[in-house]
Structure 1
């Protein structure tokens, strides 16, 4: 008889603030995502704390009263981890740790931890370790408060190196070593990309957990790991795909997220090169998620940051089978209709299908709904790129047969 796997979740609380630039509604959206991140990392959120402030307290992020409230709750309920939605400065993290005796993490630290769990290959582990070291370096003094001062006494006077300075040097050396290792792997991957020839390259991009890997498996008939958690896929997977008689390369890339740590963008540069060097992007969107428009904006911003925003793009709105909208009673004259009340047909008539562009698709990768239309549209988009690259391939372009025959004469 098989025993059920027992998972011990860490009891955690999550914390965020309402400011002039972040409304309470927006904070709740971020905390929902932070709770999902916590679950993905192996934690269980038992309570949320929030506070309205003009700006974060430079010393402790929150006000002293709220810090005391959280401290009391942590002691009374055996909480092991506090996770802040925003990135804490090294001094804030250090000051909070002096008051509250438990693990203090921020959003960046949590995402790095999930990446560390999910890294399967040597290359992914190297990228994650580099990001962790870059995050850790300015925080060493906060993590090792007992090493902050040069020890006095016999044999300790005069020039020397404190233990904290030794630790910093070790981390800096490690960062340098990891960067050199990544440069070597980058060259190898660059050679691999160049060896793929002139085939059209298509990259799946999108927010994390929108169904890119499911779509990859369905199109490419591959076996990419799929799970209903954030960042299930870290390593780029490239497969040769043939639709009708047209071959192309399809790559599945790491998912994006709001407030993506800058350390990860830098260390995952080579992985993102698959996006930079793609001829066509398939921007996959989970239309069943209530904040999918924010997700689109976040992905578009990252594409701008990595200089890949000018590429031909097909918007693929996935999970139409799970889409639900709020309904309004005909007699309800008080409720104002918003985008949350839109049906799928109403969405399709908005910016998603601008006249003449025809760059939006609505599918369910898991249920294979509208999949023939999807294949046809991808085929046509790849074909247009292929024509410019191989203008005289009469086997791929039967429409041009007469022109080819005339040339042969």
Structure 2
């Protein structure tokens, strides 16, 4: 069953545009109704027991302006994802919600180490999520919809087992399933937990040719981006909005610092999440969010929802906000989506086919 994305009009033409979601957390995208059902089945108490009230609680709680408090809202979503059945259902619905948003490629970002309280082992939780993702792809296909998905296995930066999680990602990437592991990330509170603290994990991933994206430049400043790129071998940056701290730009003119110039010149993809950033006190408004200025300067920006439940959003809604409040055009949206396909953790030939067969024809058929 497909649900219309939150905050999007059913007749919005942006819904029809083909999209990519590179930064979308599995445990940040649960349907409120599903949470209520799963919580009831395990006796977990939620802050609200009606879908609309629960959705409002999530959005309000995540809008405190503090990343640590924002992250605390995940305690309830993670609580209902401790069984094989719960993981499979959440993963399947995650795929179907991507399809409803017009997404044809999505990477499910999640931390297996947070889903062991029900007695499952690390490999078992990865297999359960993969089964759920595959079930969603099959159901979408039966309905005439195409989507391809992969998993970004994430370690929690405040924990000390990132090497074990990296080895988990390596094992499951080697299995080669289309809904399997495509990359690795670290997430969680940035301040006090720098990427370089997990160097052994990143070295192992680098030697095994596993792509890496790292949460950086969200709560922490430009130094976190520097470490992610120069020490930890990241191919992409999760968020990265604080790269503007390495710039002195006034009315489109000015000077880039060495880090910002490197990110621009190397076209390192930035997984920007405007609505989520506003909730954690980056940007102020959609119009003043760094994504537009970075786009205008030629940075490889991509548009992402981060956590659809917490931000009551979707890729379509993020695009609509950028059009209505920041003056983006359809050409801008297409350019950012091309960036996302180019940055996807997929083989080159697959990315090229997606550009030629899905993205470019899809944009040409729609006029927003």
- Asked if these proteins are the same fold (TM beyond 0.5), I'd say no
Q: Which has the higher contact order (CA 8 A, sep 6+)?
A: 2
Q: Kindly name which structure, 1 or 2, has the bigger radius of gyration based on alpha carbons.
A: 1
* Bigger fraction of residues in helix: 2
TM-score, normalised via structure 2 length: 0.31
